[in-house]
């Protein structure tokens, strides 16, 4: 970049991180769980690079920090529960969802001494952030069983899935949490038990997806399409049975988990019903359910805003055209 361009960018208030990123760099922030596998695979196999995308992958401890980082321009695309994008839009941040991903692969885990949801009365529920995504799922499930947040149980924010599992393992006062892979498997090995899948209890749910500030999206249309195409191609590679052994090795290396846990994790990730959604398709029924749940649990009137207003899937559709079948 020339001195003149650098000065001009500074005058426009462009952050130093964005200047350093370069024209073909996409800074992605996600959670360090099993669902990051397509990113790791795409990097190691050169899939992103082959499409001219220099992927800079970073991880967050919690969704609050993630939302703040996106709003501040510290990264370009977030890959996480899209309820966080809804929360940002409702807080007057111009964010748009550009892909789907999966239904969450979430289970409601409790300590071994808990026999039913009724046993959670007076107990503590650990969550990532208290007012988005999987915390809202947990609150809705408990509401269905007659338990109200702040009245019948206490919510304790501790961060991402790894930290929720750690909190429950170290302190039995933390009675329950929503967990996903590989933490569900590890929780089971620690003697905790699942009271069920969140999708089974609540119905379809659009969980993970990609979202970004609309200004970045509109300024980087072609790059975004190349990024989405590379992500979908990486996801397709992960889901092919012949790549199982390599995927398991990646999970072992990146998540620092035993091979048996990685094997089970991979099998669940590629499960045709509960695992990754093929090609990261967006589930509109699941998204409508998400919006209804959010309004109910937060005690708000249903918005006049349409579900479609949170989305722009045109980049995704064009990206898929470059991939063929």
Q: What is the pLDDT of residue 130?
A: 87
Is the omega angle on the peptide bond into residue 251 within 30 degrees of 0, that is, cis? no
For residue range 265-277, list pLDDT tens digits in order: 999 999 999 999 9
Q: What is the pLDDT of residue 3?
A: 35
Is residue 246 located within the same domain as residue 179?
no
Say how far apart CA 148 and CA 154 lie, in whole Å: 9
Is residue 95 located within the same domain as residue 243?
yes
CATH of residue 217's domain is: 3.40.190.10
Say how far apart CA 114 and CA 247 lie, in whole Å: 35
Cα distance between the two ends of the chain:
39
| Total domain count, the chain | 2
Say how far apart CA 183 and CA 237 lie, in whole Å: 23
Contact 98, 312 (CB under 8 A): yes
Ordered DSSP codes for 15-30: -HHHHHH-TTEEEEEE
For residue range 119-134, list pLDDT tens digits in order: 999 999 999 988 888 9
Say how far apart CA 153 and CA 120 lie, in whole Å: 7
Is residue 75 located within the same domain as residue 216?
yes
Is residue 39 located within the same domain as residue 127?
no
For residue range 172-194, list pLDDT tens digits in order: 999 999 999 999 999 999 999 99
Contact 195, 108 (CB under 8 A): yes
**Which SS3 state, helix, strand or coil, does residue 156 take?**
strand
324 vs 310: which has the higher pLDDT: 310
Is residue 132 located within the same domain as residue 162?
yes
User: HSE on the CB side for 297, CA within 13 Å?
Assistant: 26
Is residue 92 located within the same domain as residue 214?
yes
Q: What is the pLDDT of residue 227?
A: 98
Is residue 252 located within the same domain as residue 157?
no
Is residue 120 located within the same domain as residue 181?
yes
Final residue before a domain boundary, out of 202, 223, 241: 202
Final residue before a domain boundary, out of 202, 233, 249: 202
Radius of gyration of the chain (CA): 20
For residue range 294-306, list pLDDT tens digits in order: 999 987 766 678 9
Which residues contact residue 300 at a Cβ distance below 8 angstroms, ignoring those fewer than 6 apart? Answer: 294
For residue range 56-106, list pLDDT tens digits in order: 999 999 999 999 999 999 999 999 999 999 999 999 999 999 999 999 999
Is residue 270 located within the same domain as residue 130?
no
Final residue before a domain boundary, out of 202, 227, 245: 202
Contact 174, 168 (CB under 8 A): yes
Count the neighbouring beta carbons within 10 Å of the beta carbon of residue 227: 27
pTM of this prediction exceeds 0.75: yes
**Residue 64: both structure tokens together:** 């609050």
Is residue 198 located within the same domain as residue 222?
no
Domain of 147, in residue numbers: 107-202
Is residue 71 located within the same domain as residue 34?
yes
Q: In what order do the strands lie in the sheet with 193-197?
A: 154-157, 124-127, 174-179, 107-110, 193-197
Is residue 165 located within the same domain as residue 212?
no
């Amino acid at each position: 970049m020339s001195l003149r361009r650098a000065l001009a960018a500074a005058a426009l208030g462009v952050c130093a991180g964005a200047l350093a990123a370069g024209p073909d760099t996409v800074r992605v922030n996600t959670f360090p769980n099993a669902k990051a596998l397509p990113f790791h695979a795409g990097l190691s196999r050169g899939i992103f690079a082959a499409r001219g995308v220099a992927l800079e992958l970073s991880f967050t401890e919690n969704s609050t920090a993630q939302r703040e980082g996106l709003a501040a321009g510290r990264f370009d695309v977030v890959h996480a529960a899209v309820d966080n994008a809804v929360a940002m839009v409702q807080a007057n941040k111009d964010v748009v969802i550009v892909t789907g991903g999966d239904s969450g692969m979430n289970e409601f885990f409790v300590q071994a001494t808990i026999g039913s949801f009724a046993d959670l009365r007076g107990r503590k529920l650990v969550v990532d952030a208290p007012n988005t995504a999987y915390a809202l799922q947990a609150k809705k499930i408990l509401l269905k069983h007659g338990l109200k947040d702040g009245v019948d149980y206490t919510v304790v924010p501790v961060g991402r899935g790894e930290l929720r599992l750690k909190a429950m393992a170290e302190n039995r006062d933390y009675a329950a949490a929503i967990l996903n892979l590989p933490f569900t498997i590890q929780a089971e090995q620690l003697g905790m038990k699942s009271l069920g899948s969140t999708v089974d209890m609540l119905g379809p749910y659009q969980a993970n997806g990609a979202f970004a500030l609309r200004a970045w999206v509109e300024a980087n249309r072609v790059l975004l399409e190349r990024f989405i195409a590379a992500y979908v191609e990486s996801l397709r590679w992960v889901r092919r049975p012949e790549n199982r052994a390599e995927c398991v090795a990646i999970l072992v290396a990146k998540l620092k988990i035993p091979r048996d846990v990685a094997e089970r994790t991979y099998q669940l990730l590629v499960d045709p019903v509960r695992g990754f959604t093929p090609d990261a398709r967006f589930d509109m029924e699941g998204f409508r359910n998400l919006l209804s749940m959010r309004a109910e649990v937060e005690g708000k009137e249903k918005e006049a805003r349409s579900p479609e207003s949170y989305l722009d899937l045109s980049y995704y559709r064009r990206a898929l055209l470059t991939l063929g079948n």
